[in-house]
Amino acid sequence: MSFGSAYLTLPDFEYVKPKSLQEALQFIDQHKDEAEILAGGVGLFAFMKERLVEPRWVVDIKAIKELQTLRDDGSKGLTIGAAVNMNQLLDFAPIKEKYKALHDCVSLLSDPLLRNRSTIIGDICEALPYVDGPTPLLIFDTEVEAASVKGTRRIPMNEFIKGVAENALEPNELAVAVHLKPPPENSKSLFLKHTSSSEFSIVNVAVLCANPSRPEARTVRFAYGAIAPIPKRVHEVEDLFKRKTPVPKLIDEAIESIKKSAEPMTDVLAKAEYRSHMLEVLAVRAFRRLLGS
Amino acid sequence: MTQVISIKVNGVDRKVTIKDNELLLDVIRDKIGVKSVKAGCWRGECGLCTVLLDGKPVKSCLVLAVEADSREVKTAEGLAPEGQLSPLQKIFVEKAAMQCGFCTPSFVLTAHYLLSVNPNPTESEIIDYLSGHICRCGTYEQIIEAILDYAKQHKQTEKATAQKAK
């Protein structure tokens, strides 16, 4: 390399490219924390250049067939494998039709070139507060499928992120897929975000709504992220919207409830007060759009 | 670890000895000698290091050289035969869609890909598709104009060919 600065080069490691899932799981089981998973590499290489991560092994999972799954099983839901990149998600018609909040979210991520590499599972595994992926997944009752040599287990999305850069995976586990449950009939969903000047999210929201004009049949789901280390689905809001009260009043009450549940943080991107304010702005905007008031 | 990889660069098969931690960007520039691929930010923000990997644009500062083993890389040099310009490159020149020219090869490559999948992009589609590229001279207006112009000319040529065929 020409300049020899830590900022530009990657630290030394050995590259392995398992051909089967079994091979990959055995390798990870053997090397655990010494191995980092490479899917899109967008996050991994950035951290490695900064020497925040210095793995002995980099395990490229893109050649593994099982991880390239992208499948809509209708009433059984949607499966996205760990090696599926963001542009593949955008090109997949069922996501645009039924999982619109996810489509919105992905279409706003970084840029079209990086989206040829980055993956939604990489996004959630990174588990940094400003990643957007988890928020839309929360409103589709997503489960993360984790595999190890001992077998597989499913981790609900709302238990997957444990803190800043901490996820629920064991060192010998690989997140192989996410499973989204099908949205309710006739539902619509959307995703909104507000970013800092550096394009990192400081607030994002995902809302789903079915039957907006019939209170007894109305379904509303709401999740937010990026305002604190752990993104959250606000279940309190969901019962509230079943009442016959006029919608504008319900939105006011929902905002109150959302703000009560949120613990916005202050960090280098934004102050807690600003995050709290923008959470309200985005939530109101999203509710109004889907509930039509 | 050191290993030998085979990459097809602009139609030519190359064998290169690389280390596992080398970036595609550095190997293309320093070992293969293709200099239209520029190094700007090294962190996926500026888009100057864009190459077409198996036909799709990626930022080569975030791709390992070893990942390109047995695959095809295309750069601005590969868009037209040696010494010639592609029609899109010609329009970039006509429209003066550059000032210092440092970012131009990367814009041309991404525009080339965009036009191949969407021959008639709107202005906002172009802006969206080029959002991963930075031009520090700020020639965006002319770049967008060049791409729109290419699409328009291309459509007319197609129409004319279709009429002739009739």
- The pLDDT, as a whole number, for residue A193 is 98
Q: Where are the domain boundaries for CATH 1.10.150.120 in chain B?
A: 87-165
How far is it, in rounded angstroms, from Cα B89 to Cα B5? Answer: 31
How far is it, in rounded angstroms, from Cα A293 to Cα A247? Answer: 7
Report CB contact under 8 Å: B20, A114. Answer: no
Q: Which of B26, B42, B63 sits opposite A49 (nearest CB)?
A: B42
Contacts of A45 in chain B (CB under 8 A): 62
Give the CA distances from residue B150 to residues A286, B131, B146, in Å, rounded to whole numbers and listed in that order: 39, 19, 6
How far is it, in rounded angstroms, from Cα B133 to Cα B140? Answer: 10
Q: Are strands A35-38 and A57-60 parallel, antiparallel or unpaired?
A: parallel
- The pLDDT, as a whole number, for residue A1 is 35
pTM above 0.90, yes or no: yes
Q: Which of B21, B47, B59 sits opposite A10 (nearest CB)?
A: B21
Please give the residue of chain A at the shortest CA–CA distance from B41.
Answer: A8
Which of A34, A121, A41, A174 lies closest to B68, judged by CA? A41
**Over the stretch B49-85, which tens digit does the pLDDT of each residue have?**
999 999 999 999 999 999 999 999 999 999 999 999 9
Return contacts of A63-68, CB within 8 angstroms, 24+ apart.
Answer: A63/A17, A63/A18, A63/A19, A64/A18, A64/A19, A64/A20, A64/A21, A64/A24, A65/A20, A66/A20, A66/A21, A66/A176, A67/A21, A67/A176, A67/A177
CA distance B162 to chain A (A): 30
CA distance A110 to chain B (A): 7
Q: Which of A14, A46, A113 sits opposite B132 (nearest CB)?
A: A113
Report CB contact under 8 Å: A15, B62. Answer: no
Which of A111, A197, A198, A199 is the best mutation test for B, with the most CBs of B within 10 A? Answer: A111
CATH of B87-165, one of 2.30.30.100, 3.40.50.970, 2.60.120.10, 1.10.150.120: 1.10.150.120
Sheet with A219-225, edge to edge strand ranges:
A187-195, A201-210, A219-225, A232-233
Return contacts of A22-31, CB within 8 angstroms, 24+ apart.
Answer: A24/A59, A24/A61, A24/A64, A24/A174, A25/A147, A25/A148, A25/A149, A25/A172, A25/A174, A26/A149, A27/A57, A27/A59, A28/A59, A28/A148, A28/A171, A28/A172, A28/A173, A28/A174, A29/A148, A29/A149, A29/A172, A31/A56, A31/A57
- The pLDDT, as a whole number, for residue A11 is 95
Report CB contact under 8 Å: B44, A110. Answer: yes
Report CB contact under 8 Å: A42, B30. Answer: no
Report CB contact under 8 Å: B47, A113. Answer: yes
Contacts of A49 in chain B (CB under 8 A): 42-43
Q: Where are the domain boundaries for CATH 3.10.20.30 in chain B?
A: 2-78
Q: Which domains does chain A have, with CATH numbers?
A: 14-60 (3.30.43.10), 67-180 (3.30.465.10), 187-291 (3.30.390.50)
**Over the stretch B105-158, which tens digit does the pLDDT of each residue have?**
999 999 999 999 999 999 999 999 999 999 999 999 999 999 999 999 988 887
Q: Is the ipTM, as predicted for this complex, more than 0.85?
A: yes
Which of B78, B82, B153, B160 lies closest to B112, judged by CA? B78
**Residue A223: which H helix or E strand, with range?**
strand A219-225
Contacts of B64 in chain A (CB under 8 A): 10, 15, 38, 41, 58, 60
**Over the stretch B40-53, which tens digit does the pLDDT of each residue have?**
999 899 999 999 99
Which of B32, B31, B36, B10 lies closest to B102, judged by CA? B36
How far is it, in rounded angstroms, from Cα B54 to Cα B70? Answer: 10
The CATH T-level fold of domain B2-78 is Ubiquitin-like (UB roll) (3.10.20)
Q: pLDDT tens string for chain A (293 positions)? A: 334 445 789 999 999 999 999 999 999 999 999 999 999 999 999 999 999 999 999 999 999 999 999 999 999 999 999 999 999 999 999 999 999 999 999 999 999 999 999 999 999 999 999 999 999 999 999 999 999 999 999 999 999 999 999 999 999 999 999 999 999 999 999 999 999 887 899 999 999 999 999 999 999 999 999 999 999 999 999 999 999 999 999 999 999 999 999 999 999 999 999 999 999 999 999 999 999 86
Q: Which residues are paired to A70 by β-bridges?
A: A80
Is residue A151 classed as helix, strand or coil in its secondary structure?
strand
Report CB contact under 8 Å: B132, A2. Answer: no
Please give the residue of chain B at the shortest CA–CA distance from A1.
Answer: B26
- The pLDDT, as a whole number, for residue B166 is 67
Report CB contact under 8 Å: B44, A11. Answer: no
Contact in structure between A8 and B42 (CB atoms under 8 Å): yes
CA distance A118 to chain B (A): 10
CA distance A117 to chain B (A): 7
Q: Which of A14, A42, A117 sits opposite B20 (nearest CB)?
A: A14
Please give the residue of chain B at the shortest CA–CA distance from A114.
Answer: B58
**CA-based max dimension of chain B:** 61
Which of A3, A7, A13, A15 is the best mutation test for B, with the most CBs of B within 10 A? Answer: A15
How far is it, in rounded angstroms, from Cα A40 to Cα A123? Answer: 10
CA distance B13 to chain A (A): 22
